[in-house]
Chain A
Amino acid sequence: MKKPLLILTALGLCSAMMLSGCSGKAGTTSTNITQVKTTFRFITANSDAGSNKIFAEAVATLQKKYPNVTFTNDSSASGTYNDKIKLASVSGNPYNMIYTDDLGLAPLAENNDLLDLTPYIKKYNWINKQLPGTTNFYNQRYPNHEYTVGMNSAPLVVFYNKTIFKKLGLQVPTTLAQFENCMKVASANGYIGLEDAAQPQNLWLLESLVQNAVPLQDVINWYYLKSASPAFATAYENAGTLIKSWSDAGYFRKNYQGVNYGETPQLFGQGKSAMSFDGNWNLSTYQTTGVNFGMFPLPCNTTAGAPNYIINPVNAAWAISSKANPTQVAIGVDLINLMMSNSYAAQWETTGALPTYKMTSTAPTANQQTVDQLTAAIKKSKFGFYLDNAKPGILDLMTKELQIVLAGQETSKQMWNNVNAFWSQNY
């Protein structure tokens, strides 16, 4: 029986080694054959109708300049885009251009799958065409390299029911204490203070609170996996404790732990909730509920007038594959240049995204009024992070640990210890 076992083990080792061949090295696109007929495959994190229209238009424009190129847009349902990107990269046939979030880009950059875009950023002056901090947002992770060009932001805001606020004599809160008071008064009068679900709003609340309780540099160090300061640890624990106190005080809907996040706008639409903490991507859904609502940034500052960081990260960024041939690189650069324009920024606005391009025209778009409201609302706030994008897998951990704290099954300190342990691992 020994011989078959040896053979099997040898086979196993060989094949395990074979797996290594399939990542990164193999599949170098031979540029000789593809000179006449090139393909340009790109993938984005957006698959809604509005975004598809924008991309189709961009492709049509580019097709005129590059008639021999076949363009494919592989964008798919939300959640699976990073899987596809990973897959393509691993199997040696990466996408020429990618538009996705930090979580999807980081592993590729670490594996040298992305082209350093510094020369183009300089040449076309992209940094100055966008709101300050946009281009740098993801690139802070890679000192001395600029792999990505950010575009559009996705802020989180508090939607509030104007009718209920008026009835209860509440003003738009500008400090944390005032915000808590709004919830308190609302729930004391039979309304739901804050529309909440099993996930992710509580984690967003925690992240907002943390980012306003420590110096920005501490947040940056934690987010880019450099260091975790004691102040950050304390802030994280305190945030957990605070949210638990809100849950215990009954500010959230009864049985919120079983509510599905997707139901939030609908439930807010029933008119019994004073506020709801949600993202700008749901703006149109809230509009269809028929509730007279307004928006304000979540005030996590403790003193009136102090800077308030809201989670408003750069939504996604463009990156070009390091294995793209010169034509494909040129197309990619052209695509980014196309997007950096008033017309495209205006189109992005209609899909509900907040353009980071510094728009100079004021032609109103369909969504203009609400988007204007949103922009005005968050004007004084500063860009913050989705802390759960720090590394793959940490979102699940942070969400679940917070759920355990809210259920009263562990202390906030234990939660921090578990999160920190995962964060510290080399994986």
Chain B
Amino acid sequence: MKDKKTVFAYIFLIFSSFFTLFPLFFMLTVSFRSTADLIQNGALSWPKIWQFSNYTTAWQEANFSGYFGNSVFISTISILGVLFFATLISYGLAYFNFRGKKLVNSLILLGLIVPMQVIIIPLFFNYSAIGLLGTRVPVFITQIAVNIPFSVFLLRGFIKDIPYSIVESARMDGAKEFTVLWRIIVPIIIPVLVSLTVLIFMWTWNDFFTTNILINSDSLKTLPLGLSAFQTAHNTNIPLTSAASTMMMMPILIVYFIFQKQMIAGMTLGAVKE
């Protein structure tokens, strides 16, 4: 006999899940309908004809593979860059004392607070002055720089809990610092690195604001930008735009389902420990 509390729990959670999923589910059904069907029979009716061609049309029209390639490129380089720099910085902050350490710490903290909107205008003009604006370079450089504070924040919390004795004995054995980092610390922090990878992948993949300002030509667009342009061109064709959205949502969903555990672990580490 289930007690009242459990029943209530089920009702509450099913209700919440329904509201969470409904827009997604709706978009999915709409993506299989035709515009005529949508207008005639209303938004809530079940599709009578399943128009799978929406997906093929959207694929062809939306230059999907180009946008996909750009997104992969930018996300991959951003992840590698962030992991590289953030690991170095966290190690430096954890195991060294040096002049300016306090400044670095304050800058990192400040970096968590500064929003993109405050820096994007001069960034735009700086990049154009250097002549980088027709490329993807400004995007991943910016993504790397902007994600360093959070990554250092996360890594620092984790590294703090590593017993110093491990490093101490390595140092006393005369090991070089880079060796200590690479052979001892990195293997230990791999779980956090994995979570960071997934998080940064998610953020750079879905980013719209920064990319929108720094990228102008169609061939360099990422998926969110491509979808935005697609929407502007086909904003009355709801089924077609829904099909395009569903396709563009897929990569991140797949990554999520594969790496769920690590993502969850990574985010909770940062918020709970620090």
Contacts and interface: CB of A to CB of B under 8 A. Distances in A.
B128 A77 contact: no
Interface in A206-234: none
Interface string A250-289: 0000000000101100100010000000000000000000
Contact of A90 (B39, B128, B232): B128
Contacts of A4: 103
A131 interface: no
A83 B236 contact: no
10 contacts: A19-B125, A19-B126, A76-B217, A77-B233, A79-B232, A87-B216, A91-B131, A262-B235, A263-B236, A266-B236
Nearest to A265: B236
B140 to A, nearest CB: 19
A304 interface: no
A287 B149 CA distance: 56
Nearest to A260: B235
B122 interface: yes
**Sorted from nearest, which 6 A-B pairs have the closest CB atoms?**
A22-B129, A91-B128, A262-B236, A262-B235, A19-B125, A263-B236
Interface string B123-146: 001101101010000000000000
Given A19-B126, A79-B232, A90-B125, A74 B217 contact: yes
B236 A19 contact: no
Interface residues of B, number: 17
Contacts of A266: 39, 236
Contact of A87 (B103, B133, B236): B133
A181 to B, nearest CB: 31
Interface string B102-117: 0100000000000000
Nearest to A285: B236
Contacts of A19: 122, 125-126, 129
A78 to B, nearest CB: 8
Contact of B129 (A74, A79, A91, A263): A91
B128 A83 contact: no
Nearest to A90: B128
Interface residues of A, number: 26
A24 to B, nearest CB: 12
A39 B114 CA distance: 42
B110 to A, nearest CB: 12
A74 B220 CA distance: 13
Contacts of A26: 129
A78 B183 CA distance: 53
A92 B134 CA distance: 13
Contacts of B236: 260, 262-263, 266
A260 B128 CA distance: 35
Contacts of A93: 131
Contacts of A18: 126, 129
A339 to B, nearest CB: 25
Contacts of B133: 87, 91
A423 to B, nearest CB: 24
A87 B122 CA distance: 13
B131 A77 contact: no
A21 interface: yes
